[in-house]
Amino acid sequence: MADRLRDIQAITDAALSRLGDQELLTELLERTRAVLQADTAAVLLLDYASGHLIATAAAGLEEEVHQGVRIPVGRGFAGRIAAEHKPVILDRVDHSTVLNPILLSKGIRALMGVPLIAGGKVIGVLHVGSLTQRQFTGEELELLELAADRAASALASLLAREDRVAAEALQRSLLPSALPAEVSADVAVRYVPGAGKVGGDWYDVFCMPSGQLWVVIGDVTGSGLPAAVIMGRMRSALRAYALETADPADVLARLDRKMQHFEPGALATVLCAVFEPDLNRVRMCSAGHFPPVIASPGCAAEVAEIPSGLLIGVTRDARRQTATLDIAPGSLFCFYTDGLIERRGQVIDQGLTRLCQVVTPGPAEAACAAVMAALVGSEAAADDIAVLMLQCPPAEPKP
């Protein structure tokens, strides 16, 4: 009895909480192996994209981690635990029960494993193994489940942090590089992650060899690292298609085909605007994205009237139309994502009206600041927000 209490304490020890998540995991595996008098303890994490369990941390059988062992969910010992969300105890280890070649070749004779569950979902598997024949008991299973509980919460916070850091780094890496000096437009941008979490919003500005200036703004549905990764792929694919064809509708049709084939299930809205080198005309095509607000000198700002097209990722036969607009000298274009104008408890038209009221021609930086102050104010946004302002040069003074 005293032994069992000591064992439980070893695993639930409050001192573990003072460790970082990674150290906690290592120490927890060591302690689990010791209290269960096992020879190995290992954690496999579920990779949602591939449906594989990947060896992530181990005590006693580190080569599992070093060799990057992968087990498909549903197959083998660990795969069965993840698929059935239930513990499994094996007292016979051979090819019929175990897939992992390292467990087999090292001579593991008995195994006990439990699912790692966080937020109601299986995130991986924790298992212990013995080099000698033994039958793991119900009491030992309870101890392992206690350890799994601890490990799951440490892993969940570790994963969430890694995802956030990676998504933020990705977002930062995608900010457009400095515009070429020959561009006479004044451009300013804002990107604000929603609810402290980056998402799939992006913007892009680049020049073509023809001198045409491309502005792209888009929003991948979803948030966090998965959305940021898809956004990065869309951004570079779109640049590549822009080199192939100068028609924004054609570029979006190609991008749509690419997305449906390589990222099935992903949805995104994208708007492409192609400005003539002297900024007197723009051709635009929208795939489900809000049209820009255009403010010309002496006129009230208006939402650009361009045909709406189906968002990217649904069907191959979406109609894509390019609209051509003449630009009055000195006009300001405000491109944005839905996070800027969508608010709960408000119809979208209210947000658009408010945006039109605050967009006025002037330096792009100041226009960005004014729009963010008016529409975001002091409240943190729930959704991420991307804004790109482009101010066209004023009319040449008559000689």
Partner 1 sequence: MPAEIDVTNADEIREVLRVAVSRAPALLIIDMSATTFCDSAGVQAIIDAYNLVAARNRSAATPTQLRLVVSAVRRIITLVGIDQLIPVYSTVEAALADAPAGT
Of residues 241-300, which lie at the interface with partner 1 (CB under 8 A)? 267, 269, 287-290
Between residues 62 and 349, which has the closer beta carbon with respect to partner 1? 349
Nearest distance in Å: CB 299, partner 1: 23
Residue closer to partner 1 (CB basis): 18 or 319: 319
Q: Tell whether residue 383 is a contact of partner 1 (CB under 8 A).
A: yes
The residue (of 115 and 218) whose beta carbon lies closer to partner 1 is 218
- Could you tell me the smallest distance in angstroms from the CB atom of residue 311 to partner 1? 5
Distance in Å, CB of 183 to partner 1, minimum: 29
Residue written as tokens 């033994």?
134
- The minimum distance between CB 254 and partner 1, in angstroms, equals 17
Give dist(CA 1, CA 213) in Å, integer: 76
Q: Does residue 398 belong to the site contacting partner 1 (CB under 8 A)?
A: no
Give min distance, CB of 342 to partner 1, in A: 6
Which residue in this structure is represented by tokens 């197959």?
A: 75
374: DSSP letter: H
Tokens of 275: 């400005």
From the CA atom positions of the chain, what is the Rg in Å?
A: 28
> Whose Cβ is closer to partner 1: residue 221's or residue 296's?
221
Distance CA 174, CA 103 (A): 43
Q: Which of 349, 366, 374, 394 binds partner 1 (CB under 8 A)?
A: 349
At position 71, the amino acid (one-letter code) is I
Q: Which residue has the tokens 């002037």?
A: 362
Q: Does 221 interact with partner 1 (rule: CB under 8 A)?
A: yes
**Residue 287 or residue 301: which is nearer to partner 1 going by CB?**
287
Give the Cβ contact number of residue 42 at 10 Å: 28
Residue choice 315, 326, 378, 399 for contact with partner 1 (CB under 8 A): 315
Q: Which is nearer to partner 1, 64 or 383 (CB)?
A: 383
CB of 338 to partner 1, least distance (A): 7
Q: How would DSSP label each residue in 335-366? A: EE-GGGT--TTS-HHHHHHHHHHH--SS-HHH
For partner 1, the binding residue among 318, 325, 356, 370 (CB under 8 A) is 318
Q: Give the nearer residue to partner 1 in terms of CB position, either 235 or 289.
A: 289
Determine the longest span between alpha carbons in the chain, in angstroms: 99
14/4 Cα distance (integer angstroms): 17
Q: Which of 225, 342, 368, 392 binds partner 1 (CB under 8 A)?
A: 342
Which spans in 174-223 are helix H? none
- CA angle at 109 for the pair 106 and 111, rounded to the nearest 5°: 105
Shorter beta-carbon distance to partner 1: residue 111 or 217:
217
Contacting residue, 309, 322, 368, 391, with partner 1 by CB under 8 A = 309
Nearest to 63 by CA among 109, 103, 17: 103
Helix axes 2-12, 21-35, angle to 10 degrees: 160
Strands, DSSP E only, in 52-161?
52-59, 70-72, 88-90, 110-118, 121-130
Closest by alpha carbon to 336, among 300, 383, 378?
383
Shortest distance, position 252 Cβ to partner 1, whole Å: 12
Contact 152, 123 (CB under 8 A): yes
Q: Which is nearer to partner 1, 60 or 226 (CB)?
A: 226
Which range, of 23-31, 71-79, 154-162, 311-319, touches partner 1 by CB under 8 A? Answer: 311-319
Residues that bind partner 1 (CB under 8 A): 219, 221, 223, 267, 269, 287-290, 308-311, 314-315, 318-319, 338, 342, 344-349, 383
